[in-house]
Amino acid sequence: MAKDDAVHAEGLVKTFGDVRALDGLDLVVPRGQVVGLLGPNGSGKTTTVRILATLLKATEGVAYVNGFDVVKQADQVRHSIGLTGQYAAVDEFLTGRENLKMFGDLYHLTPGYVRERSEELLEWFDLVEAADRPAKTYSGGMRRRLDLASSLIAKPSILFLDEPTTGLDPRSRLGLWGVIESLVSEGTTVLLTTQYLEEADKLANDIVVIDHGRVIAHGTAEKLKDQIGGDRLEVTVDDPKRIPDAQLALAPVFGGESLVTESTISGPVSGGSTILVDAIRSLDSSHIEIADIALRRPTLDDVFLALTGHGAEDETQVPTKSRGRRGRR
């Protein structure tokens, strides 16, 4: 493991009966950076985080976090990380301040430090006014902020965020992104699992795409987008019966095969905004009326379709005692 690596994993395999959740996964997270772990539901993202956070033991392979073996030196790993899972792991019947105290006590931190750190976190996460209210009265975004604050009570150098913005409204999601960016600016290393390409695009220095427990692509968001054809043209026609005619008219425009749905044609293109003019002229010459036309960058589904042959799938439920709760507190 290199000194500059906060996380280093090689050949991780995890099986649950006949289910092979991880199938030889390798992962490196450089210190002080954000690495986004992307993949469809059931691809192995959460299983990877749980192994690195010592909540699960790998069937095969080795992993080091902050230089510590996740199996042989699990206590040292737990004291150097923070973890926020897919669901806010806060006690609804305790106030925000009491939740922070509880996590501080579980870390065996001194009462004076916990009080000082709690006030700092409550202010940072804009929870001062709600600090003495039960968490059950909090909105989803507030619970998420309290959950993340709890994971930071011991000032961890490495933070694991497992789909932290799932279920949040756009405003709350943007707010949480701002918090994560502030943490990284202060030197925190972050491993972020997400299904949202825009989230990884905004936050991650590097992206690792996994599917069926294996790494299938690695690079920046822009690199991944470019690999599947750069810009995509999407055309919706007024009359679905004219789709075959529209497909024929647009054949010279698309740089590769087009995807056809009931009333929409989309596909990779090159040439920037001028391609819109060419497409409209081609459709107009064939007397095809359009309801909408747009040029856009690839979406997460585009990346998944190109790399895996499918979009997001229902997650394979894997039995584990730690599911839905934070294991170390």
Mean pLDDT of the residues in the chain:
87
Whose structure tokens read 């007397």?
A: 287
State the DSSP string of 184-237. HHTT-EEEEEES-HHHHHHH-SEEEEEETTEEEEEE-HHHHHHHTTS-EEEEEE
pLDDT at 270 exceeding the cut of 80 = no
3-state secondary structure 118-138: HHHHHHHCCCCCCCCCEHHHC
Domain with CATH 3.30.70.980 in the chain: 230-308
- Write down the pLDDT at residue 261: 84
Mean pLDDT of 87-105: 92
List pLDDT tens digits, range 207-262: 999 999 999 999 888 788 777 666 888 999 999 999 999 999 999 988 667 788 88
List pLDDT tens digits, range 12-34: 999 999 999 999 999 999 999 99
The alpha carbons of the chain give a radius of gyration, in whole angstroms, of: 23
Which residues have CB under 8 Å from 51's CB, separation 6+? 9, 12, 14, 22, 57, 58, 63, 70
Mean pLDDT of 174-190: 90
pLDDT level of residue 115 (50, 70, 90 thresholds): very high
pLDDT at 329 exceeding the cut of 60 = no
Vertex 51 angle, CA 47 and 52, to 5°: 115
- Write down the pLDDT at residue 256: 61
Q: Which residue has the higher pLDDT, 87 or 126?
A: 126
What CATH number matches the domain at 230-308, 3.30.450.20, 3.40.50.300, 3.30.310.220, 3.30.70.980? 3.30.70.980
Closest by alpha carbon to 7, among 157, 171, 225, 223?
A: 157
Domain with CATH 3.40.50.300 in the chain: 5-225
pLDDT level of residue 304 (50, 70, 90 thresholds): low
Backbone angles phi, psi at 68, to 5 degrees: -105, 140
Whole-angstrom Cα distance, residue 204 to residue 192? 8
Mean pLDDT of 47-74: 97
Q: Which residue has the higher pLDDT, 212 or 302?
A: 212
What is the topology classification, in CATH, of domain 5-225?
A: Rossmann fold (3.40.50)
Mean pLDDT of 35-54: 93
